[in-house]
Amino acid sequence: MSFTRRAFVKTVGVGSAAFMAARRSAWAELLQAPAPARAPRPLLLHNNENPLGPGEAVLEAVRSALGQGGPAGRYPWDDVTQLHQAIADRFGVSPENVVTGCGSTQILREAVQIFTSPVKPLVAGQLTYEECAGYADLVGTPVRAIPLDRSLKLDLEAMADAARGAGVAFVNNPNNPTATLLSGDAMDAFIERVHTAAPDAVVLIDEAYHDYVTDPSHRTQIPRAVKDPRLVVARTFSKAHGMAGMRVGYAIGHPDTIKRLAWEGPNALNVAGIVAATASIKDEARLRRESARNMEARKFTLDWFSRAGFGGTDSQTNFIFVDIKRPAKGFRDACREQGVLVSRDFPPLEKSYMRISIGTLDEMKRAVDVFGNVLGVKAKAA
């Protein structure tokens, strides 16, 4: 039987006037009653995102692009040219040294696709950012996974030895998820060793977290990459630039190498992302402010864990890697129940280590209260 007001009134045995009066009363009570409280949004400390998002210059550029008469209705070819020029200007290179992609994800995958094969393996750390190794598995490229050293840094000497006969030697510096940094001198020596051991191999360096580094021993490999056809440096707008959802990345290298990586052309990007990235790469002052903001929140969080008796690596990123002395899964599940999301497992260190992204300072002050509850500790006063 269909459910109608008439059928309902007949079923309950009341007249229409009484029914309407009851309904009016129910509505009045509903409107006068306080709205149910919404559950607070969880703290998102699991994906290494920038909690502030893009800067105002970026937002204004996107508003213009999406407004009436803006470039969103046109193909992005001219806009990509402007982005390449802006990136080139930022680093003092030529646009021919620049290629862009749908996040650094596309850049890393293209490098694996182009420079490796079933007989030219990928060399990578175990553990490190998984994108290259995951894509290598997909396309049938063998992966030579080299364990971290005792300080949880990439073992560059072992990786250079393993590069013989390889197509790509991949280094994430600073490294995700361990947050550790390799000095500029160490990277120079590694590149030389790989070039000697594997003359045909390309060294692919992912500098996604470069803008968060505060260690003075670090230096980018971009100046070397523009002269060296066997070296590529990948960057992203997903971290310090606050544009993870807009999916823009880029690589800088020798023109001959960049030509090989540019096979898809400008169609991998959308206009909103392009104009946002063009505005953001020019806003160096905002990047400096973001680095300082992150450093303060990062130091606060690492200091809290240290006072609570839990050590971590010397983070040079917008996340920390902490020995919580228990399996990551239980800690993660308990934090989720209290409104804080932290990262996934990272074998083979998931029995003890947890990666935690850095939010704002206020967010981290809230988060450490939850961490203390879950770990059953109270940090000593600073």
- Asked, for residue 208, whether it belongs to a domain, the answer is yes
Both 234 and 294 in one domain: the answer is no
Containing domain of residue 85, as a range? 56-283
Contact 291, 352 (CB under 8 A): no
The DSSP string of 64-122 is HHHSTTSGGGS-SHHHHHHHHHHHHHHHT--GGGEEEESHHHHHHHHHHHHH-BTTB-E
**Is residue 363 situated within a structural domain?**
yes
Are 213 and 252 part of one and the same domain? yes
Instruction: Specify the CATH number for the domain of residue 174.
Output: 3.40.640.10
Domain end position, chosen among 266, 283, 300: 283
Which pLDDT value is given to residue 376?
94
Say whether both 265 and 151 belong to one domain: yes
Kindly give the interhelix angle for 77-91 and 271-282, rounded to the nearest 10 degrees. 20
Residue 264 is predicted with a pLDDT of 73
pLDDT value of position 382: 64
Residue 382 domain-assigned (yes or no): no
Q: How high is the pLDDT of residue 47? A: 96
pLDDT at position 35, please? 52
Collapsing DSSP to helix, strand or coil, 126 comes out as: strand
Are residues 291 and 258 both part of a single domain? no
Low-confidence ranges of the chain (pLDDT < 70): 1-39, 68-69, 381-382
In a shared domain, residues 198 and 83: yes
Structure confidence at residue 38 (pLDDT): 62
d(CA 158, CA 230): 19
Q: Which residue has the tokens 């993870």?
A: 244
The rounded distance, in Å, linking the Cα atoms of 82 and 303 is 43
| Domain membership flag for residue 8 | no
Domain end, chosen from 244, 265, 283, is at: 283
Does residue 23 belong to any structural domain of this protein? no
Q: How many CB atoms lie within 10 A of CB 351?
A: 12
In a domain? residue 1: no
Q: What was the pLDDT predicted at 318?
A: 98
Q: Is 236 helix (H, G, I), strand (E, B) or coil?
A: strand
pLDDT of residue 64: 85
Helix ranges (DSSP H) in 252-312: 255-261, 271-282, 284-307
Whether residue 24 is contained in a domain is answered as no
Same domain? 235 vs 318: no
Please check whether residues 259 and 135 belong to one and the same domain: yes
Query: Are the C-beta atoms of residues 347 and 275 closer than 8 Å to each other?
Result: no
Kindly report the CATH number assigned to the domain that includes residue 341: 3.90.1150.10
Asked which of 283, 299, 320 is the last residue of a domain, the reply is: 283
**Number of other CB atoms surrounding residue 160 within 10 Å:** 24
Question: In this predicted structure, what is the pLDDT of residue 261?
Answer: 93
Write phi, then psi, for 83 (nearest 5 degrees): -65, -45
pLDDT confidence of residue 65: 82
To 10 degrees, the CA torsion angle through 194, 196, 199, 201?
A: 0
The pTM is what? 0.87
Stated as kind and residue range, the H or E segment containing 61 is: helix 56-66
- Is residue 237 situated within a structural domain? yes
Residues 134 and 267 in one domain: yes
Count of the separate structural domains present in the chain:
2
Residues 321 and 368 in one domain: yes
Q: Are residues 161 and 124 in the same domain?
A: yes
Whether residue 252 is found in the same domain as residue 291: no
Query: Are 307 and 348 members of one domain?
Result: yes
- Torsion sign across C-alpha atoms 12, 17, 19, 21: negative
